[in-house]
């Protein structure tokens, strides 16, 4: 019997695990136990998971085996995955990487968790993340930084850094993530895995702790494009409890995987290849574009003239929405309450002052300021107007191309501590991903090479609204022709 | 426009976040950097452009005004810092 702590099993994709379970080559309980064993060995060092609960995981695996024995198994029944700790999961600690919620046991399930559970998937644990998803390095977590499995001195990216590192280190075959300004794609790029941020509204935000509601979107993280599609098939779907959840017919996001790419028009925005892009990243992206040409794609030069403003616009809108969303943490109904206080106002202030970390406080202050009397028009309304210009750039660009390609991140994984003292440097690491959130478009990152230090590079593929099936087709065809997505960090093969 | 310590303290008060002098000084330095980035927005002419509040320009759905959730008070209060007899306890507000 192959075991998860041997390369054969823990390197398996969702698709392969699904086939193994169907063929009764292993049981879900055996599979879960093997991953738990591997997590026990590696997690202390890497910090990918903040909560594991073997008894709960194995009970879910047992139920999945029973369901399979009864002949009711779906494609992913019995297949394990990890959930970012931003998703409420009933009975599980759900901390959002914050001291504020360090003892919060979710009383209900997020829609995403509900759907994964209903598919029979087995939760391996909750993954580490930047506090309230605010960060690009996973260093703002109350529970400590996550180490990049490719190099322990480097960050895994963020905010879904725990999910990305867990998938890269083969401590989970797939994981859920959320992406407000790049938080699925950037960590996927920095850890050499695949991540998909769907069109805004495809996946319900119910039970997903809110950061910036007009931008937040959940999506899958895995090691192949095909696995992203399998997991997105489970995660996406209408939910009346999220007022922005779209009512659309269910679709199979993997339906077009096999289509040849001949005639595909790939747009290359000149703004993605300007100053600030590292030479190694540029080289890997250009090699990927050359591969696409070999696969029959044609390249179109395009421009997104307002993209340069996206970081500024984002750091008005996202903090504004965050300052409103995070006002719910008042120390009354749930979350941290200060031990000492003089009156109600003092209780609020101390509870929030103690419960939130520095980056979260910084963003709440920015948001409060830009929404305050006298500044609302100059900052908030102006940013919303610029958001329309940025979104319109994409509408214009998609008249000339089918997908847009470029780097996911301007650099490979940076060193732990390298950017943590300068918020602006940190914010600029999302320069290629933020505009996609502002427009509400779907984006994928897939591995496409390595830099001189052996750190992975991510290729970003941006699609038009609801074009996930085509984007997965584009990513899958590349993965049939290349093997970057199969490279594994040494620590995962120990 | 330069941000001042008073601006930081005022925002912290509005946001109900306790902040001491050292924290306010540090926040001022970092927020000044961030607003330096944000000021780029002022260079663009935005006259005549409709603000975009949301990724999809959709109307919010209405639902029937029906009870959809049962009583879960005990469950929800199980995660509260301080409760008594089904009530959330806070410091006295009215003397």
Q: Mutating which of B38, B40, B51 best tests the A interface, going by the most A Cβ atoms within 10 A?
A: B38
Give φ, ψ of A166 to 5 degrees: -65, -40
Q: What is the pLDDT of residue A8?
A: 66
Q: What is the pLDDT of residue A4?
A: 47
Helix-then-strand count for chain B, H and E: 3, 2
User: What would the pLDDT profile of A308-328 be if each residue is shown by its tens digit?
Assistant: 999 999 999 999 999 999 999
Residue A446: its H or E element: strand A443-450
Q: Which residue has the tokens 């495809």?
A: A202
Contact A382 B46 (CB under 8 A): yes
Average pLDDT of span A255-267: 98
User: What would the pLDDT profile of A135-193 be if each residue is shown by its tens digit?
Assistant: 999 999 999 999 999 999 999 999 999 999 999 999 999 999 999 999 999 999 999 99
List helix spans (H) across A133-269.
161-168, 185-191, 225-235
Q: Which residues of B touch A204 (CB under 8 A)?
A: none
- The arrangement of strands across the sheet holding A194-197 comes to A49-51, A122-127, A80-84, A174-179, A217-222, A194-197, A443-450, A456-463, A403-407, A265-269, A298-302
How many other CB atoms are found less than 10 A from the CB of residue B56? 12
Closest by Cα among A188, A238, A176 to A412: A188
CA-derived radius of gyration, chain B: 22
- B22 and chain A: CB distance < 8 Å anywhere? no
- A214 and chain B: CB distance < 8 Å anywhere? yes
What tokens does A81 get?
């995955």
Residues A112, A114, A115, A117: is their CA dihedral positive or negative? positive
How far is the C-alpha of A310 from the C-alpha of A431, rounded, in Å?
7
As annotated, the active-site residues of A are: 84, 159, 183
- A206 and chain B: CB distance < 8 Å anywhere? no
Indicate the domain borders of chain B. Answer: 5-43
Q: Mutating which of B13, B18, B71, B88 best tests the A interface, going by the most A Cβ atoms within 10 A?
A: B18
Does A78 score more than 90 pLDDT?
Answer: yes
- Residues of A numbered 434-453 whose beta carbons fall under 8 angstroms of chain B's beta carbons: which are they? 437-440
Q: Which residues of B touch A342 (CB under 8 A)?
A: 91
Does A69 score more than 60 pLDDT?
Answer: yes
* All domains in chain A, ordered by first residue: 7-261+486-493 (3.90.1300.10), 308-385 (no CATH)
Q: Which residues of A touch B46 (CB under 8 A)?
A: 382, 385-386, 389
Q: For residue A2, count CB atoms less than 10 angstroms from its CB and return exposed for 0-12, middle for 13-18, buried for 19 or more.
A: middle
pLDDT band at residue A2 using 50, 70 and 90 as cut-offs: very low
Q: What is the pLDDT of residue A1?
A: 44
């Amino acid at each position: 019997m192959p075991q998860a702590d041997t390369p054969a099993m823990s390197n398996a994709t969702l698709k392969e695990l699904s086939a193994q379970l169907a063929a009764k080559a292993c049981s879900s309980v055996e599979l879960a136990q093997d991953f738990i064993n591997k997590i026990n060995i590696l997690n202390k060092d890497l910090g990918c998971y903040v909560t594991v609960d073997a008894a709960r995981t194995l009970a879910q695996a047992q139920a999945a085996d029973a369901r399979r024995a009864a002949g009711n198994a779906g494609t992913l029944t019995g297949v394990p995955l990890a959930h970012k700790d931003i998703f409420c999961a009933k009975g599980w600690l759900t901390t959002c990487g914050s001291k504020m919620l360090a003892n919060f046991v979710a009383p209900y399930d997020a829609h995403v968790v509900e759907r994964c559970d209903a598919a029979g998937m087995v939760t391996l644990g909750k993954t580490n993340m930047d506090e309230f998803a605010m960060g690009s390095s996973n260093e703002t977590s109350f529970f400590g930084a996550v180490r990049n499995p490719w190099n322990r001195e480097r960050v895994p990216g963020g905010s879904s850094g725990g999910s990305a590192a867990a998938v890269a280190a083969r401590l989970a075959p797939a994981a859920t993530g959320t992406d407000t300004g790049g938080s699925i794609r950037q960590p996927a790029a920095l850890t050499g895995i695949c991540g998909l941020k769907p069109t805004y509204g495809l996946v319900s935000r119910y039970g997903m702790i809110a950061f910036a509601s007009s931008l937040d979107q959940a999506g899958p993280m895995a090691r192949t494009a095909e696995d992203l599609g399998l997991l997105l098939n489970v995660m996406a779907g209408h939910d009346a409890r999220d007022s922005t959840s779209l009512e659309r017919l269910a679709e199979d996001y993997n339906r077009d995987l096999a289509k040849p790419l001949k005639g595909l028009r790939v747009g290359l925005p000149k703004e993605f290849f300007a100053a600030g892009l590292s030479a190694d990243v540029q080289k890997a992206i250009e090699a990927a574009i050359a591969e696409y040409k070999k696969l029959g794609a044609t390249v179109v030069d395009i421009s997104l003239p307002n993209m340069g403003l996206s970081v500024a616009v984002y750091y008005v809108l996202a903090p504004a929405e965050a300052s409103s969303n995070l006002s719910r943490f008042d120390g009354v109904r749930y979350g941290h309450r200060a031990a000492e206080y003089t009156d109600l106002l003092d209780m609020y202030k101390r509870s929030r002052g103690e419960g939130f970390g520095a980056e979260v406080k910084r963003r709440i202050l920015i948001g409060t300021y830009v929404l305050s009397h006298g500044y609302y028009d100059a900052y908030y309304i102006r940013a919303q107007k610029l958001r329309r210009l940025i979104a319109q750039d994409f509408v214009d660009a998609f008249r000339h191309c089918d997908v847009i390609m470029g780097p996911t991140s301007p650099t490979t994984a940076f060193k732990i501590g390298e950017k943590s003292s300068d918020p602006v440097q940190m914010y600029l690491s999302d320069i290629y991903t933020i505009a996609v959130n502002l427009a509400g478009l779907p984006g994928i990152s897939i591995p496409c090479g390595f830099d001189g230090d052996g750190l992975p590079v991510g290729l970003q593929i941006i699609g038009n609204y609801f074009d996930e099936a085509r984007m997965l087709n584009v990513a899958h065809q590349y993965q049939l022709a290349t093997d970057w997505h199969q490279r594994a960090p040494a620590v995962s093969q120990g | 426009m330069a941000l001042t310590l008073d601006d930081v303290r005022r925002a912290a008060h509005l946001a109900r976040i306790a902040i001491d002098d050292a924290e306010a000084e540090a926040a001022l330095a970092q927020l000044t950097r961030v607003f330096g980035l944000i000021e780029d927005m002022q260079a663009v002419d935005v006259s005549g452009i409709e603000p975009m509040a949301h990724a999809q320009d959709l109307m919010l759905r209405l639902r029937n005004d029906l009870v959809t959730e049962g009583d879960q008070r005990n469950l929800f209060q199980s995660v509260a810092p301080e409760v008594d007899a089904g009530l959330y306890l806070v410091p006295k507000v009215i003397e």
